[in-house]
Amino acid sequence: MNDLTFSPHPGSDPDLLVRPFPGREEGPQGYLLRLSEVNCLRVSELIQLGIRYDPVWLARHRLLPDPALDPDLRAHVARLAQGLTNTGRIWNHRHARFCPLCLADEPLWRAGWELYFHDVCPRHGVWLVDQCGSCGQPLRWNRDALLRCQCGSDLRQETAKGAPENPRHLSAFLEARLLGRDAVVPVPMEGLDVDQVQRLIRYLGCYMDLGSGAKPLKLRNAGRMEISWSVTALAAEIVFDWPRAFHDSLNRLQESSAGEKTGLRGLFRNAYHYLYKGFREAAFRPLRESFELWLAEHWKGGLARRNRRLPAELLASVQWIPGTVAANQLKISIARLRNLVREGRIDGQESVSTTGRRFLVVRRDQLDQISSQLVGEMSMAAAMEMLGIGKVRMQRILRLLFPSARRTFDKAFLPWCVPRAEVDGLLAIGAHLPVQSIPDEQQVSLGYVFKYWTWSADEIVALVEAVKAGSLVPQAMLNSARGISRWVFETAQLRAWQQRLNKGPPKWVSIPEFARILGVKQQVAYWITQNGLVRAERLGVLKDIGSRIRWEDVERYRQTYVFGREIAEILRCSSRKAARLLAEQGIYPVRGHSAEPSRQLIYARSDEIQRFLVQATGASPGAFKLVRSLGPGDSD
């Protein structure tokens, strides 16, 4: 390889007859050969003249246009020059390779061709050529002419052989990384530079190859097509089917080594050496994680005994552990663990084997955290017991009382979890109050209210919140009851409080009420909530409770959306015609993810609609009110 950056005569101006500029996709070595050819020199003579592939040097010697004229070209040269200086090992400068079709299109040596493991032409999808079809010799860099073999035959006449798609994508990706352009990025190569991509190709293409022998990564003549094509072909198939193909390869590797002396231990020791020592940069994390996912499965699987002697250092660095191991540590069922993963509370991945076996792995480093969270929760049954609230009532008020309560599973029949701290907080209220065995005549306990007063769930929640806020204070505690049902109030005060509560505007409306307010069918109101046009809060597990909407959110909805029907009223035309007129203005109804409600078009209130109505009706702005102000009375 010639040293393209070293100059023995830094100051002198080489005596060149012709000074062509480099191309914007041209490789450095290819450019020097082209430059030497047009000047009837050899590359070695050019180097002796002090030529350096460096933007400053080339510009000073009139081999680059003024940077202001072609900043892109200068950036290209600067990028490659930097690559030459910093990462010399990415360049395949011992061997020359090319795409005959590209050369026939344009007599330039493309930069990608000078990279290791860039084996396929991204444009034509053919394998690159590095051996002359006439003389049978490897093509040399110290030939005289860019477009001819050292034997004189025309390189553009070489036959190009079609290559598979994945190696082609891989070459396109390598070239794009070199030139700083966009391309399809294979998953494990995200964030890798050219050097890292090449190392990964070498690893996957050699190490995953069953026939590669004892020292698979020792690759002689990696720059020759006859050596490199099989490496890139295998690597490309693996990276573009990630991580499945990677895991399949590891399985095959394991099977093939099962009967041999090295066995699994050897396999893992090598993997450890390469993956954790060779690929220690952060950018290789997806690679290491994929390996750990596979390892965790086999560590746990039928091979567990045999794998017991895995290198300790490998196990220590493994982040993923089998779900069954994690579930045991957390003292929860595997189904519960699976649900924690689904809720995003712990990172996990699940695979399904060809035999249908499900296999879950989770991040070990998150177990401590999740474990402390689980300790902080109690089941709804336990909370009900402690608070002294009956089951049916609790289900109704649970979501209202504990906004952070959650169901342990998605399914309706599975239990809820209540934050222990909130339950404890409620129980602590009134701890200082006098304890009674029977309430006075003018007093009533909350337990009695639960049983005999027909209070709604909202009223009970409001009462608990009022007590928490200190605006309503229990007078004593009843010792025959449990939890908050021990609270004793003055009957008259409680009655008055309830009346005041119901005089104020309603805080919440149900979906049927919401539909009545809007003057639409319930089906439309459900569509509006399902598609998130208004925020609705699901209540409890019981079907008949459904969802409810805050009054402010009803108002907010009214300020944000308008029915096509209302616009039609203003325009004094049919809804259908109004929709057409609006569509002509490029104004379309809101769309949702579920099927649209029949014949009720909903529009976002916008300046365009306002302007259109002003124009269409000839009215002055503000002559009609798109926003009807709503009062609580409207909900009746």
123 makes contact with Zn ion (CB under 5 A): yes
By CB under 5 A, is residue 101 in contact with Zn ion? yes
For 475, the token pair is: 């007078």
Window of 128-136, 464-472, 481-489, 561-569 that interacts with Zn ion by CB under 5 A: 128-136
Least separation in angstroms between CB 173 and Zn ion: 16
Stretch that binds Zn ion, among 45-53, 113-121, 265-273, 531-539 (CB under 5 A): 113-121
Candidate residues 1, 40, 151, 210; the one interacting with Zn ion per rule CB under 5 A? 151
Instruction: Give the three-class secondary structure for 251.
Output: helix
Task: Tell me which stretch binds Zn ion (CB under 5 A): 96-104, 201-209, 321-329, 626-634.
Answer: 96-104
In the structure encoding, which two tokens stand for residue 518, read together?
């809007």
Question: Which residue, 171 or 339, is less far from Zn ion as judged by CB?
Answer: 171
CB under 8 Å, gap of 24 or more: what pairs does 176-183 form?
Answer: 178/79, 178/80, 178/83, 178/90, 178/111, 178/112, 178/115, 179/25, 179/76, 179/79, 179/111, 179/112, 180/79
Contact between 124 and Zn ion by CB under 5 A: the answer reads: yes
CB closer to Zn ion, 153 vs 319: 153
Least CB distance to Zn ion at residue 224 (A):
16
Extended strands (E) in 149-302: none
Structural contact between residues 232 and 92, judged by C-beta atoms closer than 8 angstroms = no
Residue count at the site for Zn ion (CB under 5 A)? 12
Q: Tally helices (H) and strands (E) across the chain.
A: 27, 15
Considering the complex, state which of residue 123 and residue 535 has its C-beta at the smaller distance from Zn ion. Answer: 123
Residue 281: DSSP 8-state: S
Q: Which of 113/272 has CB closer to Zn ion?
A: 113
Contacting residue, 4, 33, 99, 327, with Zn ion by CB under 5 A: 99
Report, in Å, the least distance between residue 192 CB and Zn ion.
24
Across the beta sheet with 476-478, what order do the strands follow? 435-436, 476-478, 487-490, 443-445
Among 32, 149, 386, 463, binds Zn ion (CB under 5 A): 149
Residues 6+ apart with CB under 8 A from 546: 510, 511, 538, 539
Neighbours of 450 (CB within 10 A): 17
Taking the complex as a whole, the smallest distance from the CB of residue 114 to Zn ion amounts, in Å, to: 14
132 touches Zn ion by CB under 5 A: yes
Q: How far is the CB of 176 from Zn ion (least distance, A)?
A: 15
Nearer to Zn ion, 164 or 311 (CB): 164
- Sheet containing 547-550: give its strands across: 508-510, 547-550, 537-538
Binding track over 48-87 against Zn ion, x by CB under 5 A = ----------------------------------------
Count of C-beta atoms within a 10 Å radius of residue 102: 23
Nearest residue (CB) to Zn ion, 155 versus 389: 155
Among 1, 135, 435, 627, binds Zn ion (CB under 5 A): 135
Q: Which residue is nearest to Zn ion (CB)?
A: 132
Q: Is 128 in the site for Zn ion (CB under 5 A)?
A: no
Instruction: Provide φ and ψ at 535, rounded to 5°.
Output: -85, 125
**With binding defined as CB under 5 A, does residue 134 bind Zn ion?**
yes
The one-letter code for the residue type at 476 is A
- Helical (H) or strand (E) element with 348: strand 348-352
**Using CB under 5 A as the criterion, which residues of the chain lie in contact with Zn ion when the complex forms?**
99, 101-102, 121, 123-124, 132, 134-135, 149, 151, 153
